[in-house]
Chains A and B, each alone.
Chain A
Amino acid sequence: MGAARTLYALVVATGLLFWLNQDSISLYCQQKYHDSCELPVLGQLPAWRLGAGLTTALEQGRDSFLDSLSGQATVAQAPPVVELPAPMPVVSVDLQAPVAKPVHVAATAAHPVAPVQVPAAAPVVVKPPLPQMVAPGTLASLAAGDEVFLVGDSLMQGVAPHLANSLRKRYQIHTINLSRQSTGLAYPGFFNWPKTVAETLASAPKIRLMVVFLGPNDPWDMPQGKGKPFLRFKSPEWEVAYRERIDAILEQAREHNVQVIWVGPPNMEKSRLSTAMNYLSGLYQERTAQFGQHYVSANPILGYPDEQFSYTVQTPEGKRVKVRVDDGIHFTISGQKMIAAQVLSLISFPVLTATGH
């Protein structure tokens, strides 16, 4: 008897929860299972869609309330130092960049690009973002008062605190860290990086360097809009769409005169994921080169030759250090520090280092 009543309560409550949260559940499903997860018949019924409508209306009410509230707050006082962006509304990326006919992107000696023959986006004029002096051996330079913007997923979330700490302690440089777990470029409905980057660069004019580190959430089929079939991972269409999103970020950086260091994800324990990271890295590398920006792979930083994966690495002192945690994806604190240190070593701080600290 008790079990039947409980089952009744469970079913009613679950049904109601699904009815009201169907859009978030569908996004979650997209992001996790790479499938649209639409309910066959029920999904299209107006009565079913009403639940989603209610939630959307409530969300809009909340957003406009918060907007007007924060509009007043900014007049009254400075905004808080660290603020995560509010969950993004469902916005599909609409980057109608003209797609040129297939162009073979040649690998340069300095940047050995994975030999992918793919349709590239419209040719972009290569222009270094800043006419600043970049010290030999480094890729980017910062001056006093500049800010650094960190973009990425949980890989970046691990590395970011070390980067931010060193930048602040050694060079008094402020960091804006928006890295967020489970994000990437494949599911803009879940989290839209091109949009977040555009908004952040527009609102924080002191940003002179953006460090991007993402990838492992992306190697899947991805949605191209409501009701349309998913794009197959690695298909030419997939690649065009993904490339456009990389370009959108790089384009924003160029518009705001921001240097970019794009860190390519390292090899992973699972070979499927590892191969996929290699493939994505090829795209990151190719696009950053096209925009005259900088790409570094995390593989040499962790001492991985070729496509090998290892939980530990040998330090120059001969000690074996564990750099990856047990999931075979994320880093240990030592691994995070190694990557942060390597990224830092690519930045020159001419004025600040001269004054000493």
Chain B
Amino acid sequence: MSFLSIEFGLCFTLFFIVYWSLCWSLRLQNLLLLAASYGLVASFSLQSLYILLGYSVLVYLLGLLAARQPGRWFNGVLLLALVLGCFYLFKYQEFFAASVQGAFAAAGLEVSLPVLELLVPIGLSFYAFHSVSYLVSINRGEMASAPPLDLALYLAFFPSLIAGPVNRAAHLLPQIRPQAMREVLEPQRALGLIALAVVKLFLLSGWLGSQWVDPVFETPGSFTPEQVLLSVYGYSFLIYFNFSGYTNLVTGIALLLGFRLPDNFNAPYAARNLKEFWGRWHISLSRFIRDYIYIPLGGNRKGVWRGNLNMLLAMLISGLWHGASLNFILWGALHGVGLALYKLFEQLWPGFARLPGSGLLARLLTFHYVAFAWIFFRSPTLDGAWEMLGDIAQVSLVGLDSATGVALLACVLYVATYPQWLATLRQGFSASQRLPWQLYPLPLAVFVSLVIFASQSGVPGFIYASF
């Protein structure tokens, strides 16, 4: 069931009524949340539910062990075995088996690795991350192990189960067991966020996908170089609208249930360098990778080269997490190398940021580098990505003298003036929040209707739900 479907809207309204009529009992509210979360998983597939249940039991047992023997080496090993085992079994079997077989075949050996046919359980990537945060915190002695039902809800909490944001145990578990009675948090902002999600998902990402992006990425080569470039700009906006829209949606839903999810986006294309970009894009994942991969690898404590290597490794792992293909690995590598180059640049020319116009130049450069890397991220095949790059290399002044050229210029101007747009939009959003609560739903519903009216039909997909 998609979070943006009519069915979900109706179910949620009913759920909302029952949930808040139980506000006198945290225990019942939590049980209801857990049942709803499991119901949602089961609506995708029963098998996904069984796997989530099994995973939760294992995490609970590991949590008890880590609480009894904190700081011992085997806690880390068991956790790693659990997470890597699940990822291998459900996400990477085919990719690794094919790669290993290919490598042996190149050496003239025929090796056949067993591949079990398993369906990828819904939400696995995210509850696996949640379990890492939980078990590491216990192992470090930062918290006690949680009661089984609290832990089950922490792992399965439905707003963040399917596509994040990535929660931390220290942040979400206390909200599952709050000191005072739960209440709806910032109701008007929550509804505003859901409306914003409708704009971003139905209207903007839907339109960009069908008009600028999908035709080109699916059949690269039948378009002019300018159209190919436009599709890359288009995809850069699309993935932002899609994913940040999704985050707005689940953040709004969680607020309505009395929960606060971690921040995930903060105007990423306003970043002036890649480091800043990763502080603004999928923030909860970036921080997860920093805290649980980059720093344990040694971070930047072991010299410049080792630091850069760790960063590259962390970005490669991030790439591989997004999908088992060379394209995603290349995407990760491009970001790893880009970050290292930025560090080098910063050391060679520390005064750059003080030059007039440097901010604008830095933003445009960062956006274009990120957009360049998105080509590999979106392209279904590596050949397709190379072909598109070859096409873009042929962009000419003559070709730019067209409607596509005007659209390209508009994209660049949009990125250039992004901070101004952002300020205006944020003012507009906060102005809408000052409407009296009795009136608020009317303009909200009319606004959403207009957005749906201007959008294409169909329930939009969430890109990040498949990672």
Q: Which residues of A contact B (CB under 8 A)?
A: 2-3, 5-17, 20-21, 24-25, 28, 55, 58-59, 62, 77, 80-84, 87, 160-161, 164-165, 168-169, 174-175, 177, 181-182, 190, 311-312, 322, 326, 333
A9:B20 contact, CB within 8 angstroms: no
Q: A13-B441, A21-B449 are in contact. Are A3 and B6 (CB under 8 A)?
A: no
A165:B219 contact, CB within 8 angstroms: yes
Residues of B within 8 A of A62 (CB): 453
Q: How far is the CB of A149 from chain B (nearest CB, A)?
A: 14
Q: How far is the CB of A159 from chain B (nearest CB, A)?
A: 11
Q: Which of B183, B188, B453 contacts A58 (CB 8 A)?
A: B453
A21:B452 contact, CB within 8 angstroms: yes
A77:B403 contact, CB within 8 angstroms: yes
A13:B457 contact, CB within 8 angstroms: no
Residues of A within 8 A of B183 (CB): 2-3
Q: Which of B6, B184, B222, B452 contacts A168 (CB 8 A)?
A: B222
Q: Which of A9, A14, A164, A181 contacts B437 (CB 8 A)?
A: A9
Q: A168-B219, A311-B117 are in contact. Are A181 and B449 (CB under 8 A)?
A: no
Residues of B within 8 A of A311 (CB): 117
B441:A12 contact, CB within 8 angstroms: yes
A9:B441 contact, CB within 8 angstroms: yes
B187:A333 contact, CB within 8 angstroms: no
Q: Which of A15, A17, A58, A182 contacts B448 (CB 8 A)?
A: A17
Residues of B within 8 A of A326 (CB): 119-120
Given contacts A28-B457, A190-B457, 20 further A-B contacts (CB under 8 A): A3-B16, A3-B20, A6-B190, A8-B438, A9-B437, A9-B440, A10-B441, A12-B445, A13-B448, A15-B445, A16-B441, A21-B452, A77-B402, A80-B403, A81-B223, A161-B218, A168-B222, A174-B222, A326-B119, A333-B380
0/1 string, B85-124, CB within 8 A of A gives 1: 0000000001000000000000000000000010110000
Which B residues from 3 to 33 make CB contacts under 8 A with A? Answer: 6, 9-10, 13, 16-17, 20, 23
Find the residue from A2, A16, A77 having the highest chain B CB count within 10 A. Answer: A2
Interface check B215, CB cutoff 8 A = yes
Q: Which of B13, B94, B453 contacts A11 (CB 8 A)?
A: B13
Residues of B within 8 A of A9 (CB): 187-188, 191, 437, 440-441, 444
Number of interface residues of B (CB under 8 A): 46
B453:A59 contact, CB within 8 angstroms: yes
Q: Which residues of B contact A (CB under 8 A)?
A: 6, 9-10, 13, 16-17, 20, 23, 94, 117, 119-120, 183-184, 187-188, 190-191, 210-211, 215, 218-219, 221-223, 227, 256, 380, 402-403, 437-438, 440-442, 444-446, 448-449, 452-453, 456-458
Residues of A within 8 A of B441 (CB): 8-10, 12-13, 16
Please list the 9 inter-chain residue pairs (A to B) with the smallest Cβ-Cβ separation, ordered nearest first.
Answer: A16-B445, A161-B218, A3-B20, A12-B441, A82-B215, A2-B184, A6-B187, A13-B445, A13-B441
Q: Which of A2, A28, A165 contacts B221 (CB 8 A)?
A: A165
Residues of B within 8 A of A168 (CB): 219, 221-222
Count how many pairs of residues, one from A and one from B, have CB atoms less than 8 Å apart in the complex. Answer: 114
Residues of A within 8 A of B211 (CB): 83-84
Residues of B within 8 A of A81 (CB): 215, 222-223, 227
A24:B210 contact, CB within 8 angstroms: no
Residues of B within 8 A of A84 (CB): 210-211, 456
Q: How far is the CB of A75 from chain B (nearest CB, A)?
A: 14
A6:B219 contact, CB within 8 angstroms: no
**Complex CA–CA separation, A32 to B130 (angstroms):** 35
A5:B437 contact, CB within 8 angstroms: yes
A169:B403 contact, CB within 8 angstroms: no
A12:B442 contact, CB within 8 angstroms: yes
Q: A20-B449, A326-B119 are in contact. Are A6 and B184 (CB under 8 A)?
A: yes
B16:A6 contact, CB within 8 angstroms: yes
Residues of A within 8 A of B448 (CB): 13, 17
A87:B457 contact, CB within 8 angstroms: yes
**Complex CA–CA separation, A87 to B183 (angstroms):** 41
Q: A17-B448, A59-B453, A326-B120 are in contact. Are A181 and B191 (CB under 8 A)?
A: no
Q: Which of B117, B184, B215 contacts A3 (CB 8 A)?
A: B184
A322:B94 contact, CB within 8 angstroms: yes
Residues of B within 8 A of A6 (CB): 16, 184, 187, 190-191, 256
